Amino acid sequence: MGITDSIFKRLRRVNPRIMAAAEKTLQAVPGVQGRMEAEYASMLRDLEPSLKPYRNEFAAHAQLPQAGIPREEIISAMERMQAHERTRWESGFVSGAVYHGDPSYIDFLNRVYALNSQSNPLHSDVFPSTSKFEAEIVSMTASLFGAQNNNEICGTVSSGGTESILLAMKTYRDYARSRRGIRDPEMIVPVTAHAAFDKAAQYFNIKQIHIPVGDDYRADAAAAERALTENTVVIVGSAPSFPHGVIDPIEPLSELARAHRVGFHTDACLGGFVLPFAEQLGYPVPPFDFRLPGVTSMSADTHKYGYAPKGSSVVLYRGSELRHYQYYTATEWPGGLYFSPTFAGSRPGALSAACWAAMVSLGEQGYLDATRRILETASAIKTEIRSIPELRILGDPWWVIAFASDTLDIYRVMDFMTRRKWSLNGLHKPSAVHLAVTLRHTEPGVAERFGADLREAVDHVKTHPEDKGEMAPVYGLAANLPLRGVVSDLLKRYMDVLYKV
């Protein structure tokens, strides 16, 4: 991009404030911005065909068609698109994304959705069934996290993990402002916590204090203690973290929060519907939920390992007083009295109905069976990865397995796996790749196929150093470029391409 590697190396050693100033200066240098623009354009041109695979196969509609398209024609086009996409996740090639995927189960949830397609929780008087479903979703989820003998645990249904996290952080901000007079709130968050916490900090003007993780990729509790100030409103821990699939030290972190009378949020979006059942199966699950007195809120995604359709999640609180700071009410609006428990007004009640149906149809035994299969498959996949000398697993993961290499470009390994139809997640800091094991991966032969393809990928990268791959340059740029604003700009341009007709 016209900036020498030696400058990069120097910039990596300076602090973020100096680096931000350096970034502005470098972009102002004549020619640098133009070279950046050219590099962006080249990358995005190369990526666009893979991002827009239907461009030459299906009609595009940049404006309303003059006459409506026949319904059967629409259905036919959608069926053809689904046929293209279904094969990858159905055969277990995708990390996360589709967590159950059995055809008869999908058909069942689709029938539930169709029956409730017109329902809207905003109109609780018209659709009382939706209120029933959501109340029971919250109660069933809370019962998994130590609420059996604790009636104060309460919560709401949200649209996904990001909304659950945003709601909880907004709640702590408002609670601290009201009860403690804090006007400049701070949140203590491990660097491995979900990006939704960064989004909450940006949206709600909460100062985010990042704490490091140790060699085991778990949050550093001592660093959390050093980060505490009189403006701290909440400490966060993951069970497990998205990047590396390890569980933060929730007990010491939550005790730290309790000792300083601040909130503690366990983000169990990934683990909420696995860890309780893993514990029942005899796995050594460390404490992470409301059985710990310092835990004051939790998030758990029903649309991941709860096997509900996208998008639904649950956010829980220790006490209705705290939950009240999440609610929104309007008493002076000319349109009448208005209230909503979450950010949205109107919401698809059909998703809540399908979530409820998923939970009650599976029952405890269904979740136990699913968890057993996932953890056994994850163990087999970890064995496959460890058998490859060039790769190493990061930390001690459960079923979200991150691996890296000290000798190979791991993003080129990921590119080769992509050509073999695998859809894996690229990670940064350190550069790595992960696979989130789902029920799709527990089908016979999938773990073995993953191991065989991964070995071939490593061999290919070793013997073909000239093969740069498609996404490897993008991930490599994002991992190594010290100017983070440049990377942010590239991501924004990537999203621009997604919205091109």
Query: What is the token pair recorded at 327?
Result: 């609610």
Q: Are residues 228 and 340 in the same domain?
A: yes
SS3 390: coil
Q: Are 163 and 236 within one domain?
A: yes
Domain containing 299 equals 114-359
What pLDDT does 53 receive?
A: 86
pLDDT of 4: 33
**Helix (H), strand (E), coil (C) string for 219-234:** ECHHHHHHHCCCCEEE
Residue 481 predicted with pLDDT over 60? no
The chain-wide mean pLDDT, for the chain, equals: 89
Range with the poorest average pLDDT among 40-54, 89-103, 473-487: 473-487
Is the pLDDT score of 368 beyond 90?
Answer: yes
Read off the pTM: 0.87
- Do the strands 153-158 and 338-340 form a parallel or antiparallel pair, or are they unpaired? unpaired
Q: CA nearest 92: which of 451, 379, 443?
A: 443
CA–CA distances in Å: residue 474 to residues 248, 404, 432, 434: 30, 17, 14, 17
Domain boundary residue, one of 338, 359, 380:
359
Is 130 part of a structural domain of the chain? yes
Instruction: Name the nearest CA neighbour of 48 among 422, 494, 476, 424.
Output: 494
| 415 — pLDDT class (breaks 50, 70, 90) | very high
**Least confident span in 107-121, 301-315, 476-490:** 476-490
Please give the average per-residue pLDDT across 299-326, as a whole number.
96
Band of residue 3 on the pLDDT scale cut at 50, 70, 90: very low
Residue 436 host element (H or E):
strand 432-436
Maximum alpha-carbon separation in the chain: 71
Return the pLDDT at 49.
Answer: 83
Sheet of 263-267, strand order: 153-158, 313-318, 297-300, 263-267, 232-238, 186-190, 207-211
Q: Do residue 125 and residue 239 come from a single domain?
A: yes
**Domain check: are 256 and 186 in the same one?**
yes
The predicted pLDDT at position 185 comes to 98
Amino acid 471: pLDDT: 61
Instruction: Write down the pLDDT at residue 391.
Output: 97
326 DSSP 8-state letter: T
* Domain C-terminal end among 306, 330, 359: 359
439, amino acid identity: L
The confidence band for 11, taking pLDDT boundaries of 50, 70 and 90, is: very low
Burial state string for 419-439 with b = 16 or more CB within 10 A and e = fewer than 16: eeebebbbbeeebbbbbbbbb
Residue 15 has pLDDT above 70, yes or no: no
Same domain for 145 and 48, yes or no, is no
Q: How far apart are CA 306 and CA 360, in angstroms?
A: 11
The confidence band for 478, taking pLDDT boundaries of 50, 70 and 90, is low
Q: What is the pLDDT of residue 1?
A: 36
The reply to whether 36 falls in a domain is yes
The stretch 272-296 carries a mean pLDDT of 97
- pLDDT at residue 12, rounded to an integer: 40
DSSP designation for 440? G
Return all residues near 136 (Cβ < 8 A) that are at least 6 apart.
Answer: 356
Q: What is the pLDDT of residue 13?
A: 41
Strand blocks (E) in 301-353? 313-318, 328-330, 338-340
More confident residue, 53 or 258: 258
Residue 295 sits in a domain whose CATH number is 3.40.640.10
Residue 275 has pLDDT above 90, yes or no: yes
Radius of gyration (C-alpha) of the chain in whole angstroms: 24
C-alpha 88 chain-centroid distance:
20
By the 8 A CB rule, do 305 and 272 touch? yes
**Calpha distance 147→320 (Å, rounded):** 14
Domain annotation covers residue 398: no
Angle between helices 16-28 and 484-498 (to 10 degrees): 70
From 359, 378, 405, the end of a domain falls on: 359
Do residue 211 and residue 305 come from a single domain?
Answer: yes
For residue 378, tell me if it sits in a domain: no
- CA distances 239 to 5, 194, 299, Å, are 38, 11, 10
Number of domains forming the structure of the chain = 2
pLDDT tens digits along 45-86: 777 887 888 888 898 898 999 999 999 999 999 999 988 888
pLDDT band at 29 (very low <50, low <70, confident <90, very high): low
User: What sign for the dihedral angle of Cα 170, 175, 181, 187?
Assistant: negative
198-222 pLDDT, tens per residue?
A: 999 999 999 999 999 999 999 999 9
Start-to-end CA distance of the chain, whole Å, equals 29
> What whole-number percentage of the chain has pLDDT above 90?
73
